[in-house]
Amino acid sequence: MPPYEALYGRKCRTPTSWDEFGEGKIFGPELIQQMKDTIIVIKKRLIAAQDRQKKYADPTQKDVKFEIGEIILLKVSPWKGLTRFGKKGKLTPRYIRPFEILNQVGKVAYELALPPQYQHVHNVFHVLLLKKYNLDANHVIEIELVEINADLPYEEQPVQILDRQERILRNKSVNLVKVL
């Protein structure tokens, strides 16, 4: 008894026995023609299934190309547990600061010019982790410089005493005062 028949309790259906078991066997050129027809039907069904799946996959794919020297943003949300760029938890940024593209590595990877503070991160990223940076004047914050003399005296004056409390420790008492 063959292993397939012992395991499944029926004979294995090979290309010569694709017909139903009750039908009469066809030998000769009719068998070869019938196998060719069956293979053509199977190929058509496979192509139809692939086209159906391709229809669902295509809308999510983007053909994105970047030029060398272009400024882009880097998506960091996949590294939530590994590397944190700034804030933690829910306030972790999705994209971090603009970077310049140094060169293209392959068809879908780019090498970025990362600053020294990110030296522990590999500088080649997939195109899906990059987003085009649109320069906006609102993104630039102008800092006003405030000049402070080091020899200027500064003296704090209490305005009001809000609360008093005496805390007793083991062998001494400490006066606590809340001042506005």
pLDDT of amino acid 64:
80
pLDDT of amino acid 87:
61
Give Cα 3 distance to the centre of its chain. Answer: 46
pLDDT of amino acid 31:
76
Distances (CA, A) of 149 to 125, 146, 152, 154: 47, 10, 6, 11
Strand partners, 107: none
pLDDT of amino acid 48:
92
pLDDT of amino acid 101:
92
pLDDT (tens place) for every residue of the chain, 180 residues total: 677 777 777 777 766 555 555 555 556 788 788 888 888 998 999 999 999 888 887 776 667 888 898 989 888 765 544 455 656 667 667 788 888 999 999 888 999 998 888 788 888 988 888 888 887 767 666 777 877 777 777 778 888 989 999 999 889 999 999 988
pLDDT of amino acid 5:
77
Q: Domains of the chain: which residue ranges?
A: 3-58, 71-139
pLDDT of amino acid 166:
92
pLDDT of amino acid 147:
78
The pTM is what?
0.45
Is residue 32 within 8 Å of 39, Cβ to Cβ? no
Closest listed residue to residue 26, CA positions, set 18, 175, 54:
18
pLDDT of amino acid 83:
53
The 3-state secondary structure of 37-67, one letter per residue: HHHHHHHHHHHHHHHHHHHHHHHHCCCCCCC
Q: Give, rounded to a whole angstrom, the gap between the first and last alpha carbons of the chain.
A: 96
